[in-house]
Amino acid sequence: MIVERDIRMRQEARLSGLDELRGLAIGLVVLSHVGPVFGEGGTAAALLFAPAWGVGVDLFFVISGLVVERSLRSLRRERGALEAAFAFYVRRAMRIVPLAWCVGAILSIGLILPGSGVEPADAKAAFAFISNAHWAPCFGGATGCGNAFAFGPFWSIAAEMQFYLLAPLLVFLLPRRALVALERFSLNRSRLFAVNGLF
């Protein structure tokens, strides 16, 4: 009985059209990462390095915000704020942490390979989900940064995990207008990564 109710709630909560938007976002993110294959010269490279492809990451963040907001409000109606926040944290951690750490462990092999450019600080930032703060100075031109193609993409996972950490507070305490303003601010910040960095 409980299982049937959970399945029905998930189906009702699933918004039509989100899968198509996710597909579009995936395509844009893939396009934004293909540019380095062609190097820095030529028309194909110029098109594929276009910062506009970075909008795929923005789209993922918007979709995530929408889904998270709906999930938290639904959980709060069922269980109350404290239990809803705890259930939310457990679900998100179980969905992201094992896979992220597994990929991080594989990429950490680069620490022992000569010439890989992978730095211990890059790996530590990835495992601690603070890669966005770690890589921000690098995208601004700072020296001493590691190989961005190894752990650099962890910046978006770090931003997502930090958002998940704050999401229950934001959704339960802020009015919707404030959430929309915060979303706009966050999207403008993520565009800085797309324009100034490799992502």
pLDDT in tens, 44-81: 666 666 666 677 888 888 888 888 888 888 888 888 88
Q: Using CA atoms, how far apart are residues 179 and 14, in angstroms rounded to an integer? A: 21
Please compute, for residue 142, the number of CA atoms within 13 A of its CA located in the half-sphere on the CB side.
12
pLDDT of residue 11: 47
The segment with the largest mean pLDDT, out of 66-75, 144-153, 185-194, is: 66-75
Take residue 199 and report the two structure tokens written for it: 């992502």
Every domain of the chain and the residues it spans: 2-196
pLDDT over 70 for what percent of the chain? 70
pLDDT, tens only, 12-55 = 556 777 888 888 888 888 877 776 666 666 666 666 666 666 77
Its pTM stands at: 0.70
pLDDT, averaged across the chain: 77
Q: Using CA atoms, how far apart are residues 175 and 121, in angstroms rounded to an integer? A: 38
Q: Using CA atoms, how far apart are residues 117 and 126, in angstroms rounded to an integer? A: 15
Q: Using CA atoms, how far apart are residues 157 and 15, in angstroms rounded to an integer? A: 23
Please check whether residue 101 is in contact with residue 123, taking contact to mean a CB–CB distance below 8 angstroms. no
Q: Using CA atoms, how far apart are residues 51 and 85, in angstroms rounded to an integer? A: 36
